[in-house]
């Protein structure tokens, strides 16, 4: 049996070939991690942006990946000066220091680990809420594995990547030092795929899954910066024509850097030797920076108007489609360039509506007990359990055992002390205990695949809460999922013929009519065009539910 977490279709074929497996059966589960949100920020003022993100998650466990050992140590030291509990982790540290740093992180004695890729492979910490790539990863495989260390308990967690061309150039430099030509070309191709992921203007989740051979069906993942805040487009016709003309007039035999230098009127020796300063395209761009032009060329490559040959020194050319567009002077619209990073708060789904103050009291209690028992805090209770406690306010053993992760043994060990804290807080703040739905016990059927079991279980748990007339937000909070996911569950249940009454979820007559008109105007039943028409006043989950009443 050969097992791997992130094998692309090509790697799977290689595994079968290398091991000479005959009639091999391949089993693949989904690569999708719906509880993770993906964000790429331009690396401008990145340290200030990093501090903002960490302050938003000041009580959450975070891993920050850096390019080198020196980078990890410097950044960890800087963060400690800012008041954060941060330690470095890399292969150059003494083994005992590495062990202690990892142990402190697992036990919540340190909030942040700043690491190279050496960290995380064997770590058993399910409540990492934030994985940040402060420098560009070498490949999508590596990036996917490292982001996979976030949210292993299934709760919403963020994956943030800071991207700049300078980081890509740095990776390129080291790749060019690889002596084996095949290995070097393979590494360069993987880096190009990573850069394409950062520069694209379409759903990042779909891009990641497609890389591993999985097709993502949803129109909007509601879990990446592109889907949550689609970039506006601008008329890029003139600048695109200038770029494509420069490629043609310089002889279709130069790379991106040279073309940009010509457009910006650089006075370097190679341009002068070739007399390209005499071309009509020389120095004709004065309203875009070098970084802007790189981004625009990348978009033209993604739109397949411009092509790039392989090899260490790729050459730009026009595709047949690009030639037609240039000749006919067709309009070209590209995503508007982002001058600054958007707020991290706007980059992911809203947090669940549990009582934050009570959650913090329960978290400190959990830490105290964990320290006394010399175990990591999540061994006592996971974050999901604490969030449910802070939402439902269970004040009896009968209620407490209904919390996720609470069995007879944990009820016996910790029930009384946790209930006491909850009861005192509820009394002080005059808060009533909420009804907790019964835990769902999935029916065992030997013929059902594990994946189908999981899906059936999660849909049925949502169904039980719908039958109790809980709102979508309440269900999302109780289950630690995003509201659009719950709306999707309801839609799926109805499509499978489940008998559930969702009349109580019907939008008001006025809002429903507005939504219906927007669907009619869009000419279809897709959600994204309707959301674009209606704007921020209507959420995706409301549109999805409204679509059921059409």
pLDDT tens, position by position, for the chain (550 residues)?
Answer: 888 777 788 888 888 889 998 888 888 888 899 999 999 998 877 888 899 899 989 889 999 999 888 889 999 999 998 999 999 999 888 989 988 998 999 999 999 999 987 666 556 788 999 999 999 999 999 999 999 999 988 899 999 999 987 788 778 878 888 888 888 888 988 998 999 899 888 899 999 999 988 888 888 898 998 888 777 778 899 999 999 999 999 999 998 889 999 999 988 788 999 999 999 999 999 888 888 898 899 889 988 899 988 666 789 999 999 999 999 999 998 887 654 333 333 333 323 478 889 999 999 999 999 888 888 887 888 888 898 899 999 998 888 988 887 888 888 899 999 999 999 999 999 988 888 876 544 333 333 344 444 445 778 888 888 888 888 888 888 877 778 888 888 888 887 777 788 888 988 887 888 888 777 766 667 777 677 677 666 788 888 888 888 6
Q: Which CATH class is domain 457-547?
A: mainly alpha
C-alpha torsion 343→349→355→360, nearest 10: -60
Handedness of CA 42, 161, 478, 414 (dihedral sign): negative
Residue whose C-alpha is closest to residue 393's, from 448, 355, 363:
355
Topology (CATH level 3) of domain 233-335: Arc Repressor Mutant, subunit A (1.10.10)
Predicted pLDDT of residue 173: 78
CA-to-CA distance for 550 and 543, rounded, in angstroms? 11
Predicted pLDDT of residue 475: 86
Residue whose C-alpha is closest to residue 45's, from 342, 294, 292, 260:
342
CA-to-CA distance for 147 and 126, rounded, in angstroms? 13
As annotated, the residues of the chain forming the CATH 1.10.150.80 domain(s) are 356-428
CA-to-CA distance for 184 and 179, rounded, in angstroms? 7
Q: Which CATH class is domain 356-428?
A: mainly alpha
As annotated, the residues of the chain forming the CATH 1.10.10.10 domain(s) are 233-335
Predicted pLDDT of residue 310: 64
CA-to-CA distance for 303 and 322, rounded, in angstroms? 9
- How far CA 376 is from CA of 285, 382, 420, 521, in Å, comes to 58, 10, 22, 55
CA-to-CA distance for 126 and 464, rounded, in angstroms? 27
Q: Are 397 and 414 in contact (CB under 8 A)?
A: no
Predicted pLDDT of residue 45: 78
CA-to-CA distance for 366 and 378, rounded, in angstroms? 8
- How far CA 122 is from CA of 137, 221, 375, in Å, comes to 19, 29, 17
**Alpha-carbon Rg for the chain in angstroms:** 27
Sequence-distant (6+) residues with CB within 8 A of 467 are 500, 501
Report field, pTM of the whole predicted structure over 0.75: no
CATH of 35-228, one of 3.40.50.300, 3.40.50.970, 3.10.50.40, 3.20.20.80: 3.40.50.300
Predicted pLDDT of residue 523: 64
> To which residue do tokens 């804290």 refer?
421
Residue whose C-alpha is closest to residue 478's, from 492, 465, 459, 491:
465
CA-to-CA distance for 312 and 80, rounded, in angstroms? 40
CA-to-CA distance for 293 and 296, rounded, in angstroms? 5
Q: Are 307 and 318 in contact (CB under 8 A)?
A: yes
């Amino acid at each position: 049996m050969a097992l791997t977490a992130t094998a692309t279709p090509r790697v799977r074929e290689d595994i079968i070939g290398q091991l000479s497996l005959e009639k091999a059966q391949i089993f693949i589960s989904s690569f999708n991690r719906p509880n993770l949100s993906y964000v790429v920020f331009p690396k401008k003022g990145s340290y200030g942006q990093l501090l903002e993100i960490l302050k938003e998650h000041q009580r959450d466990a975070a891993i920050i990946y850096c390019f080198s050992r020196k980078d990890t140590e410097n950044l960890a030291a800087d963060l400690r000066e800012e008041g954060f509990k941060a330690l470095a982790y890399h292969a150059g540290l003494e083994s005992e220091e590495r062990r202690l740093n990892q142990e402190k992180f697992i036990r919540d004695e340190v909030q942040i680990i700043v690491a190279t890729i050496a960290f995380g492979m064997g770590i058993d910490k399910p409540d990492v809420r934030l994985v940040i790539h402060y420098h560009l990863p070498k490949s999508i495989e590596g990036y996917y594995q490292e982001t996979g260390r976030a949210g292993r308990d299934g709760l919403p967690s963020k994956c943030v990547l800071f991207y700049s061309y300078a980081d890509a150039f740095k990776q390129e430099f080291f790749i060019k030092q690889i002596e084996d030509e095949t290995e070097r070309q393979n590494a360069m191709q993987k880096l190009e795929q990573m850069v394409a992921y950062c520069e694209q203007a379409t759903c990042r989740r779909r891009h990641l899954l497609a890389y591993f051979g999985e097709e993502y069906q949803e129109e909007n993942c509601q879990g990446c910066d592109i889907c949550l805040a689609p970039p506006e487009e601008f008329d890029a016709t003139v600048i695109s024509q200038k770029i494509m003309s420069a490629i043609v007039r310089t002889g279709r035999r130069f790379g991106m850097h040279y073309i940009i230098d010509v457009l910006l009127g650089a006075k370097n020796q190679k341009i002068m030797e070739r007399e390209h300063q005499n071309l009509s395209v020389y120095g004709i761009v004065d309203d875009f920076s070098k970084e802007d032009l790189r981004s625009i060329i990348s978009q033209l490559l993604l739109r397949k108007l411009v092509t790039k040959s392989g090899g260490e020194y790729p050459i730009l050319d026009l595709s047949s489609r690009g030639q037609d567009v240039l000749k006919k002077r067709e309009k070209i619209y590209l995503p508007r360039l982002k001058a600054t990073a958007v707020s991290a708060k706007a980059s992911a789904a809203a947090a669940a509506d549990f009582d934050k103050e009570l959650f913090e009291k329960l978290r400190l209690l959990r830490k105290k007990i964990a320290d006394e028992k010399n175990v990591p805090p999540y061994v006592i209770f996971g974050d999901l359990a604490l969030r449910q406690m802070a939402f439902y306010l269970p004040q009896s053993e009968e209620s407490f055992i209904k919390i996720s992760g609470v069995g007879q043994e944990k009820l016996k060990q910790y029930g009384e002390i946790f209930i006491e804290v909850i009861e005192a807080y509820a009394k002080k703040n005059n808060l009533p205990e909420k009804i907790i739905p019964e835990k769902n016990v999935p029916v065992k059927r030997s013929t059902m695949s594990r994946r189908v079991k999981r899906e059936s279980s999660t849909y049925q748990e949502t169904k039980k809460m719908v039958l109790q007339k809980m709102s979508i937000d309440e269900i999302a909070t109780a289950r630690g999922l995003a509201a659009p996911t719950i709306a999707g569950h309801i839609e799926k249940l109805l499509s499978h013929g489940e008998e559930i009454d969702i009349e109580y979820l019907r939008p008001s007559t006025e809002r429903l009519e507005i939504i219906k008109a927007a669907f009619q105007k869009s000419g279809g039943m897709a959600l994204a065009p309707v959301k674009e028409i209606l704007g921020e006043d209507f959420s995706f989950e409301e549109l999805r539910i409204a679509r059921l009443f059409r």
